[in-house]
Every structure is written in structure tokens, then in C-alpha cells.
Chains A and B, each alone.
Chain A
């Protein structure tokens, strides 16, 4: 069965304390892995797409990496405005255009 699992469920960091969020997946055929950010009361906002193991993408304090089993979202020297829920999603090769989302990691950055 195809699964997307995110950990931890919640993470509290001091401002400037770097850490990583994990998205592990067991799927039959990965077409792409996606990271989104969701603020309270808002819809998710696209961050990155990764297609193959070894690929990395960066945006400001965020860097996403991909292996054959998992993806990491590294947050370097986070600021309070990075507080949000981070969602990962996968798109499979055999299920058309569906995106399957994990349950997310709620990140709180304390000043």
C-alpha cells in the first residue's frame, strides 16, 4: 500500500536552531515529491518539487533533499516567520494526476 509518513508531528525550535523535517514514503512508483507550507487558516503554498534521488532544492533558509525512501526539509537558522505546518506530497507514476499528502509537521519557532 502506498504511504506517506511525516515526522515529527510537531517541532518547537529556538530562533536560530537548525533542524530537519522528515517525509518517508513507500510507493510503487514515484513521479515526484513535493513540499508545501501551510499557515493557519490558509491553503498550502508550494515550496519545492524533487524528482530523483540525490536531487536538492534550496529557497532562503529551506533546503529539500530526496533519497529513494525519504525526503528531508532542512531549516537553517529558522526565524519565527518560518512557523507553519509543512506538508509533503507524492505523485505516482500509475495513478494519473493525484497527489497524496502526508499529515504534516507543525513547526513553531520561538523568538
Chain B
């Protein structure tokens, strides 16, 4: 595709359920980032993948959050046992290796009831 694709665009779930958010980066981009954007807050770094290197997980807020990237392309962010404070827009971005410009998807809006 021409840009970063994220799905679902909207997800409403009940507290305690698990959710998976998907990101399909721009073809050829080896770097992939997940950010979280809450109302009135800046973008919060979650995790970064670069090629086949070990991911930088330093931004994951708890062990309920995990992410994987298969085949150096598609990434899935999984939130287990969702809590109301997990409600936010989850943004995925990709770039060329060590690139300065991030290309963002439109985000997945998660609402936990």
C-alpha cells in the first residue's frame, strides 16, 4: 500500500478482555514504532522495531502490553486484560532504517468500557 495501514480503526471492548491491534508498514521500511496518544497527552512511545534487531520495549507501560513483528513487516500490538486507562488512540509509524521522517498510520482508537 501507499501508506501505513492500521486496523481496526475503532475498537470497543469490555474491561478484562484482550485486544489485538495490527499495523502494516510501508513496504521497504525496516523501522516500526508504536505510540499511544491519550486525550490532552503527547504521543507516548511504546515500542520500536528495527530490522532483525531485538525490539526496544522500554516504553511498554506494563506486562499486559506486548508486540511482535513477523517477517520484518506486519506488527501486532496485544493488550491483555484491558483496563479503562488503556483507552487511547494507538498509532503506528514506520521509517527507513535510521530515518528521520516517521510515516504514521491513522491510528486505532481503543475504548475500554
**Do A and B come from the same complex?**
yes
B43 touches A87 (CB 8 A): yes
Q: Does chain A have a CB within 8 A of B1?
A: no
State which of B42, B103, B106 has its C-beta within 8 Å of the C-beta of A101: B42
State which of B4, B91, B100, B103 has its C-beta within 8 Å of the C-beta of A32: B100
Interface positions of B (Cβ within 8 A of A): 4, 31, 33, 35, 40-43, 45, 48, 50, 56, 58-59, 91, 93, 98, 100-107
Q: Report the interface size for chain A: residues with CB under 8 A from the other chain.
A: 23
Q: Does chain B have a CB within 8 A of A111?
A: no
State which of A42, A43, A97 has its C-beta within 8 Å of the C-beta of B98: A97
B43 touches A49 (CB 8 A): no
A99 touches B56 (CB 8 A): no
